[in-house]
Amino acid sequence: MDYAVRFVECHRAEIIQRTTPVDPILDILLMKNIISHEMYTVIRAALTSQEKMRSLYTALQSRQSKAAFYEALKQQNPYLVRDLAVSFVDKHRDELNKHMDLKSTADELNSQGHTELSSKFKEALITSINTTLSDVLETLDEPEKEVLYTSLKVQNPHLVQKLDMPKGFILPFFGGNKILGTGSEDTIVYKAKFDERTVAVKRVKKELVKIALIELELLRTLDDHPNVVRYFYNWVDDKYQYIILELASSTLKEYIEEKDKRISELDPVSLLQQIMSGLAYLHLHKIVHRDIKPTNILLSLPDMKGNVKAMISDFGLGKQLDQDNSTYSKGSGSVGTLRWMAPEAHESESVKPGYGVDIFSAGCVFYYVLSDGSHAFGKNILRNIFTGKHELDKLKADVHQHVLAKHLIVRMLSLDPKSRPTAETALHHPLFWDSWQQLDFMQEISDLLEYQKDKLTHLEENSSDVVKEDWTKHITDGLMKDLQRRRPYDGHKVQHLLRAIRNSKHHYSDKRKEEMGPIPEGLVSYFTTRFPTLLLHTYEVMIQCGVIPKLLPQNQSSGRLVITGP
């Protein structure tokens, strides 16, 4: 089983790229109950063989499942398995000759039960003192090379890994590489070259190999999302484990606290949305990060268009949950960083932690970003975390985005994990709606209220602050005159303010465009800066009434938002 598991893990990229067709392998795994019917259906729905294989690798979480996949792969595509082994022996014959000898190779093969091949090496040793390992390797047929490769993977995996090292990789301890950061237990992050690209190399002491292996396992699972740091390779020597990762420009902490070093200003809400998108991807794959904090959020190097993305990193404390579980045991004690940990993650608490610990930590990070470096629980952080006393005073009540952010953050920081939104739910919060989505929502609700009068009572309750007593006094005279040409408006009613926005959209003249700016950004900004609580008030009332707004994926949307409910 060891060899099969290692083979599946080490040749991930080649197997994904070269395995076709995939469906017969899926059939075997389904028949053996390695994958569920639901997973089988999901994987088969993918459009390409590569997409199917990526999804299948995500499903292969246990050693048993990887071993079963290896057997299915050998059954359906034996030449691929053999080719990967044969090409290794042929490619590295001279290097193997330098690191191995005939006697030790014969002994290792014999100890693993490969007596026939072992005899071939022993005979060469007896026949001539000038015979080299390379000479014997040249005489092996393909099945024998596959057996030798199997033996090497089991007995000398570090040698195989070293020889498989992509061209252009400069090992960090050779000197001349910049240190990007340091951590506890002699952990260092270097800047290095790998496969003709500049990367970050995280060096971890072998004594901490368990943590390093956890991180590697999770990174291999999470290889296809823009907001999760990209994993390339790993390397082991006598002292350290090296994890080769995508190079970043800075941590989120550095960006927030070292303003003079900023290359460019980034949209804070977009950063938060990307962090939550990365978390949703982790949770979809049944992974709890358990250490979300500003130093574990990286900012990428700018792409060709100058765009920078947020990436979740450092999975050493991550936890892969079983398929049927949404919580985990605290048998190993508290895990995380105290200032950013959810209360239930502490060992003293009786509530079992789960995905909610990441949501809580992300809530703290959200406030940290929007407040320019403050903590959501003030100065007495630990005491306030346990009592649920957050201090969000730097979110301004007259700033539209801050109003929306506070509504979401308060829920993310709830003492009760069950009251926190999931990552996927949080992504649908109005804080992350773009201008079109906000405008669509207000228009849809305005239309809805024309024939569902029962909701008006709830909408107009406690709304004097929303309309600032009389909203007609807070918009420009020109716009008010245009609106009144078509129908009368009551400045005390939220419904009429929503109608004004809807009608302004439908009759957006050049004069209005000159005054407000382009649609939708200009129109939305005009009203939300004057009435910063309007969108949230309307949203909360509609949710209470069972009207659920849901964003559509862009490629499925002729509009951008749909309303469901009674």
Tell me the angle at which helices 494-506 and 435-451 cross, rounded to the nearest 10 degrees: 120
CA dihedral 522, 527, 531, 534 (to 10 degrees): -100
Q: How many residues does the chain have?
A: 566
Region for 336 from its dihedrals, namely left if φ exceeds 0, alpha if ψ lies in -120 to 50, beta otherwise = left
Structure-token pair, residue 305: 């268009």
- Alpha-carbon distance of 229 to 310, in angstroms, equals 9
Q: Pick from 268, 542, 536, 275: which is nearest to 403 by CA?
A: 536
Cα atoms found within 13 Å of the Cα of residue 351, Cβ hemisphere only: 16
Q: How many Cβ atoms from other residues are within 10 Å of residue 430's Cβ?
A: 22
Alpha-carbon distances, residue 324 vs 40, 42, 212, 245, 328 (angstroms): 17, 17, 26, 31, 11
For the question of residue 164 being annotated catalytic, the response is no
How many Å separate Cα 234 from the centre of its chain? 20
Catalytic residue among 107, 237, 291, 465: 291
- Alpha-carbon distance of 152 to 392, in angstroms, equals 58
Structure-token pair, residue 68: 């079963």
**Residue type for 320, please?**
Q
**Residue type for 74, please?**
K
* Contact predicate 421/541, CB 8 Å: no
The radius of gyration of the chain's CA atoms, rounded to the nearest angstrom, is 30
**Residue type for 511, please?**
K
- Alpha-carbon distance of 199 to 186, in angstroms, equals 20
- Alpha-carbon distance of 62 to 337, in angstroms, equals 28
At a CB cut-off of 8 Å and minimum separation 6, what does 544 contact?
458
H helices present in 45-200, as ranges: 49-59, 63-76, 78-91, 93-99, 102-111, 115-127, 133-139, 142-155, 157-163
Alpha-carbon distances, residue 77 vs 46, 56, 165 (angstroms): 20, 16, 25
Maximal C-alpha separation, the chain: 107
* Contact predicate 44/23, CB 8 Å: yes
Catalytic residues: 291
